[in-house]
Structure 1
Amino acid sequence: MPVYNNERYFPMAVQSVLSQEYKDLELIIIDDGSTDKTPEIADLIAKEDRRVRVVHQKNQWIYASLNNGIQIAKGNYIYIVNSDDRLRPGSLKNMAEIVECFYPDVIWTKVLTHKCDDNQRIIEYDYSNFDNKIERDMLFENADAFRDNWIFLNKSSLMNNQVNLYKRSIAQKYKFRNDIYGADRLYNINIASEISSAFVMKEAVYDHFNYESDEMNVSIGKYYGYEHEMFNLFYNENRLLLSDWNRLDNEALSYLASARLRELSIELRSLNNKGCVLSLEEKIEKIFNSFLDKDIYELAEESGKLEELEARVLSGMRELFIKETLSPQSNLYFSYELIDSLLKRRLC
């Protein structure tokens, strides 16, 4: 459990682990240089429960904390719990029973995301309707079965985060990148070729809280500046993986292209986030010079989705022009006229 300045919520996350019916566990709390009461609370918890280990380190960010915790873990399996989320009752017992039966390399688990207030009172339960995406338990007994279902794991969002049960012998071979907020997704891509068996749980085991205030969420509603390169990396690494597995067929290509174009819309919307300090002209230049690169054009053309690409760019730029005004004297004013013209043409 990585934690940074989270004295308010992390004791409840800890309690959700230590109160599990399954008791044979080690909880490693990585205090990432907290300056509030988090270190003292963590040490007190460790004094009261011998299953808890606390590591205090200089601030390194969340994924470095995960790497440090994974490397010193002693259990045969590793599960990650964020310090403001909760493990659902009975989760470890259910996962342990699956391990005893099948001993899979990874158990992919559901994350239910709830909108909540700053007291973690749920306003909207499972607002992504994720609990209905996995309708039954699934066992992939060998590498071929797992690889045959890789696109399913992508479509169901199971491989988009680190909240899964990983066999320690595999998890310790790899490290999370510590320079992008989507390092968990890349980690799952990186370990995929090591996986020779896997299990997908129907029952949800984890509650993730999405707060009303964007400032309280790690990546939601923020602008980093590297979104385009990160999403391109996901696309290219996934494509390379499927190619190496001889599973890059038309269905896979179509899915990867669709997913990448959806992420392009996320990039465009991020330009309107509060943290983006770019001027309107700089935003337009970024779209033309960075977002619409060779990778995007090639995947859209290859999958027959050039019209979708155009529509997403038009929509994204229209949102920019709704919020900000471009001077007619600007060298980029043509882009406003172009968007205006194309939109009028679409309405005809």
Structure 2
Amino acid sequence: MSKKISVIVPVYNVEKYLSRCLDSLVNQTYSNLEIIIVNDGTKDKSMVIAERFAQKDPRIKIIHQENAGLSEARNKGLQYITGDYVAFLDSDDWLEKDAYAYMLRLLEDYGADICVGAIRRTAQPLPFENSQKPKENLLTQKAYAKKYFKIGSQSIEYYVWNKLYKRQVVEGIRYPKGFYAEDVPTTFRYILKAQKIIVTDKIVYHYFSNEQGLTAQFSSKHFDVLKGWDIVLAEARKTGSPDYIAWAEINRQRADFALLTEISLSPQFNSLKVSFKKEIETLSQQLKQNKSALLRAPLPFNRKLLIRLYASHYFFFASLINRLTKIKSVVKK
């Protein structure tokens, strides 16, 4: 255990969940950890809990800042890392007990720069067993970038917290300040600094599906994902790689479609179409302009069908789909 892992845990109003998160961290089978808790101006009793853990565990250091958001909390934590490897853990989530021991072993065995673990999404913190032998796949930067851009894949790869990084990968990179979906451009920047990435299907990270969380209900912040993909496109153009540029362009176009779909499926659709009428009209117009390119892209048939429908008359078909979704929900009950 000569290699140290620095783990950054931003904390803001998570008193209900923080003990579970920190329990999973301090009880990791790999003990050479540096645990950096960043108090992002929390207003509840989260710091009482954090201080209690810190008093018992000298590996924990607590950094305080005025509330500035998740991006700035991670940036603050990165200023204090001293480890050979770096990980991020959101304070309402938790880890498998051997998460870091396993991911570190993979990094060293394969000589990789980033290890990507599997995620379990759950609203219930029930016992879980990893019974099957995990599959491991070593990828080049370009092969993993292809997965990140969903070329021939539909997995979501831009999360930063189900990964373990060599310190050199994260150094010098900061999260964009003040907007939602900060993972999208930051993960791409990390990929560009990695040559080999080891991917495993072993679940290492438990993502808490929090109905009260930021992603639970659609808000104006969700439009920030467009800024994220704008940054990715700019970064791709800097590389000069025709593939990266083409993949970034199609994903920027897909982001418009993804937002329109999210709005159409929202239980608040009727109010959203009024509150964000101007934004929806802009997205719809852009979808019409990019329809041909999207239909040529390697997308599933059902998405291409939605693209055709939304591009022809968004409000009509979105309303229809929203009603059908509600009927389906009622029938299931």
Change (3 A) 1:22 1:185: same
Distance 1:225 1:198, change over 3 A: closer
Q: Who is 1:203 aligned against? A: 202
Q: Distance in 1 between matches of 2:189 and 2:105?
A: 27
Matches of residues 1-348 of structure 1 in structure 2 within 5 Å? 1-116=9-124, 120=125, 136-140=135-139, 145-153=140-148, 154=150, 155-163=153-161, 164-211=163-210, 214=211, 216-224=212-220, 227=223, 230-231=225-226, 233-234=228-229, 237-238=232-233, 241=236, 244-247=240-243, 252=247, 256=251, 259-260=254-255, 262-269=257-264, 273=268, 280=274, 283-288=276-281, 290-294=282-286, 296-304=287-295, 308-312=306-310, 314=313, 317-320=316-319
Structure 1 SS opposite 2:220? coil
TM-aligned CA distance change 1:201 to 1:239, over 3 Å: farther
Q: Could you tell me the TM-score, scaled by structure 1's length?
A: 0.73
Which range is displaced more, 234-243 or 22-31?
Answer: 234-243
Q: CA RMSD in A?
A: 3.6
Structure 1 Cα separation of the partners of residues 231 and 38 of structure 2: 32
Contact 1:20 1:89 survives alignment (8 Å): yes
Provide the identity percentage.
18
Q: Show structure 1 runs of 4+ deviating over 6 A.
A: 321-324
Q: Structure 1 stretch 37-46 or stretch 47-56: which is displaced more?
A: 37-46
Which stretch shows the higher mean deviation, 73-82 or 166-175? 166-175
* Gap change, CA 1:293 and 1:27, over 3 Å in 2: same
Cα distance change of structure 1 residues 259 and 115 upon mapping to structure 2, 3 Å threshold: farther
2: distance between equivalents of 1:264 and 1:278? 12
C-alpha distance in structure 1 between counterparts of 2:185 and 2:262, whole Å: 18
Q: 1:278 to 1:149 in 2, by over 3 A?
A: closer
CA distance in 2, matches of 1:232, 1:302: 20
With normalisation by structure 2, the TM-score equals: 0.76
Q: Distance in 2 between matches of 1:220 and 1:103?
A: 38
* Structure 2 residue matching 1:50: 3-state secondary structure: coil
1:195 aligned counterpart, secondary structure: coil
Output the CA distance in 1 between the equivalents of 2:321 and 2:30.
Answer: 54
Alpha-carbon shift at residue 185 of structure 1 (Å): 1.7
Check conservation: 2:174, 2:186, Cα contact below 8 A. Answer: yes
More strand per residue? 2
Q: Is the CA contact (8 Å cut-off) linking 1:105 and 1:167 kept in structure 2?
A: yes
AA of the residue aligned to 2:155:
S
- The total of aligned residue pairs comes to 301
